[in-house]
Amino acid sequence: MSFWDLTRSFLIFSFLVCSFGLGKVLANSSTQIFLSDSDQISVQDLELSNGTLRAHYFAGKLEIPWSRVRRIFLAEPYVLILQDGSRLVGKTSPIKNSEDFLHLIRNQGQSLALTHDEIKEMKTLKNFEKDKKSKISGSKPKIRQVWKGGADFGMILQSGNTKDAKLNYQFKASRQSEFDVFHINLSGTQGKSRSVETANSGLVGTRFDLKLRGNRHYFLLSELSYDKPKGIELRSVLGFGAGRTIYDRGSKYLQVSFGLGAEKEQREDDSRISSITGLFELDLKHPLAHKTYLTGLFKLYPNIKEWADHLRGEASISLVSPLTAKSSLKITLQERFQENVGPNVEKLDLTLTTSLAYSF
């Protein structure tokens, strides 16, 4: 054999050995699926969900029932979710001829053998983190949301032996963003009995909440109100403070707020009262049976210097029973207390109203 023939034979033999070794390395460096009919498939981006195994196979996509899979080799880190809800991250051990369905090597170096029935979901670590970031960014509240709120309206008309007319109304709305909440509240009552005014009061209030971490917030509020039967021509309140939402689960809600306020009150006898008060507010919602629920709002305004002689408070609790998706029947018990009142004026007012409520 000539020198050139010997050289050519050596090159061919080397090429075959390298090709065999390179093919073996490439096979071991890709994710492998071993099927029950002894077929073996090399794939990329393997994903298991809802009992179906999906993967990229050359230029196309592949879907295989999970029941057909006999064994898996994972060449890159994967996230595995087991039937008990636990989550594992790792790739397959390079042990050859292992009878384990999947022999996982975790990042901490721990080795774990898993069976076919233990695995519920599977996804590459890269795709798992990508989907997680997408969900987080998609779940963030919009910078500005639409207004939401509701309006209540109730009326009593009676004629014959007595002639009474009474009207109560309320409008509440709020606009919420990722960082703040703006509230508007309008409410009032009008009533006459035998042409004598028995109820005439109204309130306009706004409140701005600046959200903080941990369900906490700072707030600024302002209120203008009047109450003719109590002889109050105009009362103005400016306040600020902080609060916290204890829980907010949609059907259950509880929020508390504390702060300081400045009050000015002008009465029908031309007297004027100014004071610095504390602020305490409790806002709640609690579900009952058959979609019926309770809502409550409790406010206290104690005078800083003489709180016992100038205490003022409001409390209302409502029973709400939905009629449709946007309308409901509402029964409200409201109490308004003021320690410092004019002559021949009761300190406590108790009102029970029924109204039709509409939400938007």
Q: pLDDT tens-digit profile of 30-88?
A: 788 888 877 888 888 888 888 898 888 776 788 888 888 888 888 888 888 888 888 88
Average pLDDT over residues 237-244: 95
Q: pLDDT tens-digit profile of 148-176?
A: 888 999 987 777 777 788 899 999 999 88
Do 212 and 351 share a structural domain? yes
Res. 20 pLDDT band, cuts 50 70 90: very low
pLDDT of the residue at 2:
55
pLDDT of the residue at 94:
61
How far apart are the C-alpha atoms of 80 and 118, rounded to whole Å? 10
- Predicted confidence (pLDDT) at residue 144 exceeds the cutoff of 60: no
Tell me what percent of the residues of the chain surpass a pLDDT of 90: 31
Do 355 and 327 share a structural domain? yes
Do 166 and 121 share a structural domain? no
Structure tokens at 291: 């979609």
pLDDT of the residue at 110:
75
Q: Higher pLDDT residue, 43 or 315?
A: 315
- Predicted confidence (pLDDT) at residue 262 exceeds the cutoff of 90: yes
Res. 1 pLDDT band, cuts 50 70 90: low
Average pLDDT over residues 350-357: 90
- Predicted confidence (pLDDT) at residue 204 exceeds the cutoff of 70: yes
Do 156 and 72 share a structural domain? no
Torsion of CA 156, 161, 162, 167, to 10 degrees: 10
- Predicted confidence (pLDDT) at residue 294 exceeds the cutoff of 60: yes
- Domain CATH for 165: 2.40.160.40
Q: Look at residues 47, 53, 83 and name the one whose alpha carbon lies nearest to residue 68.
A: 53
Average pLDDT over residues 193-201: 83
pLDDT of the residue at 73:
85
Q: What is the 3-state secondary structure (H, E, C) of 240-284?
A: EEEEEEEEECCCCEEEEEEEEEEEEEEECCCCEEEEEEEEEEEEE
Q: How far is CA 250 from CA 144, 210, 267, 296, in A?
A: 20, 20, 42, 15
Do 199 and 115 share a structural domain? no
DSSP output for 155-173: EEEE-SSS-EEEEEEEEEE
Structure tokens at 22: 């390179």
- Predicted confidence (pLDDT) at residue 29 exceeds the cutoff of 70: no
Average pLDDT over residues 15-35: 53
Among 138, 165, 184, the domain boundary falls at: 138
- Predicted confidence (pLDDT) at residue 95 exceeds the cutoff of 50: yes
Whole-number mean pLDDT of the chain?
A: 83
Average pLDDT over residues 256-282: 92
pLDDT of the residue at 17:
41
Residues whose CB falls within 8 Å of the CB of residue 147, separated by 6 or more in sequence, listed in order: 173, 174, 175, 360
How far apart are the C-alpha atoms of 262 and 109, rounded to whole Å? 65
- Domain CATH for 72: 2.30.30.100
Among 114, 138, 162, the domain boundary falls at: 138
pLDDT of the residue at 19:
42
pLDDT of the residue at 11:
47
Average pLDDT over residues 334-348: 87
Residue-range definition of the domain harbouring residue 304: 148-359
Neighbours of 305 (CB within 10 A): 10
Residue in the block written with tokens 């209302």? 316
Rounded to two decimals, what is the model's pTM? 0.58
Do 345 and 319 share a structural domain? yes
DSSP output for 15-27: HHHHHHHHHHHHH
